[in-house]
Structure 1
């Protein structure tokens, strides 16, 4: 049945509930090109103000899911569940690099299709491009083969998965309609469901370094995704009021992830809490553990015995990266040449951190995109980040900067000093896990 696109837009503009048939027609038009960017933007803006019912959001999700290729794992003879995690984006968010290998080592399969950085937040896809030879855009046959052989394969977004969402998202990004919960729900779930998952955990970031900077929005996204998803799905709201872990930037985050998996350094407690919470939820969703206590024990075991690190090494090798990356990360992962530790002007306790400004400063260093065509400099970024509640003095830096030129270095040092507040009074360490939906 044919509809007039402008009538569908008018219906939503006036607050009417769109039928599944209207939504299917509109998404088909987006995919086939007979719906214009202007019409996509108009419907997105109408949705932003009028919202969507649960039925509308479900119809939009399913229509965008089936707008492209949908992976089928049923003929792959896998002996475990197909699971994945999605984050709404954060500063220093390298959780996926650790989660995929851990779940694989525990008996699950993780076909993770990741995205590039968006705004002030880094992208998993961009991080894997730092690894020489790593093919982050393999064909689907290779993607499925590596997933089966290793247990995890982390690649970049492909035009074959949910192509309608690619057009909708690009238009939302330039029409100030990104923060619509129905559109966020459909965008995330359409891609994840097209990957053929059997279980999904959402990491909903909340705080000054997240897109959801208020609890109402974070809870709204979590509740919407869990309600609309047709597969077992949980959402965990996690703190994004400080950098995740001790590193922010591409090379620095990959190195921190490798060190975490190998156990070379003490695990940063808040990041470890997030990793264990998300992995535990997935193991329970996939029936690989009967409860969270058992799941946590399995996670600690595969980290301690090196099984998770071995899965990461196997994935890197299978997708074209170096066979000895885990043993010699510094051989392949090169920092920018200029390095400077940043110290506070006064001693005290770390009181607060403006993570958004820190994320934006990575872009200024060259580690992100100002426009879509920009080439990322993976070598720049930060390491040794302090945490809220830490004691800071003349021997303990706020962070270490890696930069390529003196002007960028000076600007980054200034941003760090301005973004981190020091208190003379002792500050309580915040919780990483805020709420589970």
Structure 2
């Protein structure tokens, strides 16, 4: 078999066989196929697309290129959750203790962030003492005993995806639905989950900017899950403004505490409860949305969710005192109040712009070798729909840098009349 024949076949829109897909994926990982041929093939896929069977086979080829995590030692249906990424997205940290409170095992493998703020692992490492490096045995033992655990992704998980993503990034083929879907789902399959709930973000702070694109990606990933015998549900959620009031790492942990105390912002509480409800349903232990949602609300109101968060922090070596004393989290030395330069209703907050401001303050990485300042970030004092007077505080920038130059006001758009409320949940795809 020759790679050029596979390229020519896809170039004219023909479907590739499982054997052909395994051939080029394995060949690339082994270094037998050069970058330029895979780049040509992926550009052909970008223009010609792939059918459902091809996408499922590509996903499994990525999975088979490296290690897989065997979670058979965990009792019950293991439910995992994945977000396509957004600004102020701390939903994983909310739903882990919430779902575990229902007696559903949550075995979560998460990554670090590259871009405006840290990933789930970075946010957790803002908690003093919290360990995200666990052996597989310890990881499984924690889930069996406490119902939850989080660990950083192993280096040998889906190496083909890591290699091809780096190539796609520099060859203009990142925004291909089949390639995005297989990339995301391969990591979830390799992580050993039985059921998967996907939080597909859409809007200015998301990878998918339009609802049509987000629906296509959601449907594609759900179809992959079905083809590979994983119960998969996708929820399309809004990212046209940052989620909640905090963007950063340590300050997002403080907001997780607020949500699980019943004092969270409406948008992130709505999204978190919706995703947690569908995780419970995906486990097979619950079936009705309304009654499950009501039970999760009761878990928060009773204080059980906050106690579970405290347990979660303790079992992974973190300091649980941060729940009652958030001041024990990293604190920035500089807190810069940004005041509005006009009056009116806020009609838009460009989430991506706010994320980039947070990165410049030290909350994110420009390149993977960069270190993160856990104390850096942005606090939004006003959200879309709020009225603000000229010279009234709009947001607070937290940083340890002595000099900063940001154009945070450019993220805000104002109007004279109150805008229509934002729809936090756009669609559920099963």
Partner deviation per Cα, 1:219-267 (whole Å, 9 max, x = no partner): 110110111113111111111110100000111111111222234xx22
Instruction: Indicate the SS of the match to 2:66.
Output: coil
Partner of 1:244: 243
- State how far apart, in whole Å, the 2-side matches of 1:56 and 1:48 are: 13
CA-based RMSD of the aligned residues comes to 1.9
1:43 aligns with 41
SS at match of 1:320: coil
Q: Is the 8 A contact 1:90 1:122 kept in 2?
A: no
Aligned to 1:276: 273
**Equivalent runs, 1:31-430 vs 2, <5 Å:** 31-76=29-74, 78=75, 80-120=76-116, 122-229=118-225, 230-263=229-262, 266-331=263-328, 333-393=329-389, 397-408=393-404, 411-412=405-406, 414-415=407-408, 417-430=409-422
Cα distance in 2 for partners of 1:172, 1:95 equals 28
Please give the per-residue CA displacement for 1:175-217, whole angstroms capped at 9, x wherever unaligned: 2211111111111111111122121111111111111001221
Q: Does 1:435 align with 2:427?
A: yes
Q: Using the alignment, how far apart are the partners of 1:33 and 1:311 within structure 2?
A: 46
Partners in 2 of 1:385 and 1:27 — Cα distance?
48
Return the alpha-carbon distance in structure 1 between the equivalents of residues 402 and 415 of structure 2: 30
Q: Distance in 1 between matches of 2:311 and 2:39?
A: 43
SS in 2 for 1:407: coil
Question: Are the counterparts in 1 of residues 132 and 151 from structure 2 also a CA contact under 8 Å?
Answer: yes
Shift of 1:394: 5.8
List alignment gaps of at least 5 residues for structure 2: none
Report the Cα offset of residue 396 of structure 1: 5.2
Alpha carbons 2:113, 2:122 under 8 Å: kept: yes
Contact 2:117 2:359 in 1 (8 A): no
CA contact (8 A) 1:98 1:261 kept: yes
The alignment's TM-score, normalised by the length of structure 2, stands at 0.94
Structure 1 unaligned segments of length 5 or more: list them. Answer: none
| Matched residue, 2:10 | 12
1:428 Cα deviation after fit: 2.5
- Structure-1-length-normalised TM-score: 0.92
Q: Confirm or deny: 8 A CA contact 1:106 1:288 kept in the other structure.
A: no
Q: How many residues align?
A: 426
Give the Cα–Cα distance (whole angstroms) in 2 for the partners of residues 385 and 95 of structure 1.
20
Is 388-397 or 122-131 further displaced after alignment? 388-397
Counterpart contact for 2:113–2:120, Cα < 8 Å: yes
CA contact (8 A) 2:257 2:306 kept: yes
1:395 deviates by 8.1
| Native 8 Å contact 2:126 2:330 kept in 1 | no
SS in 1 for 2:107: strand
**Counterparts of 1:406 and 1:95 in 2: how far apart (Å)?**
31
The DSSP-based 3-state class of the residue aligned with 1:74 is: coil
- 1:13 Cα offset (Å): 2.7
Is the contact made by 2:83 and 2:199 (CA closer than 8 Å) also made in structure 1?
yes
Alignment-derived partner of residue 24 in structure 2: 26
* Cα distance between partner residues in 2 of 1:161 and 1:147: 20
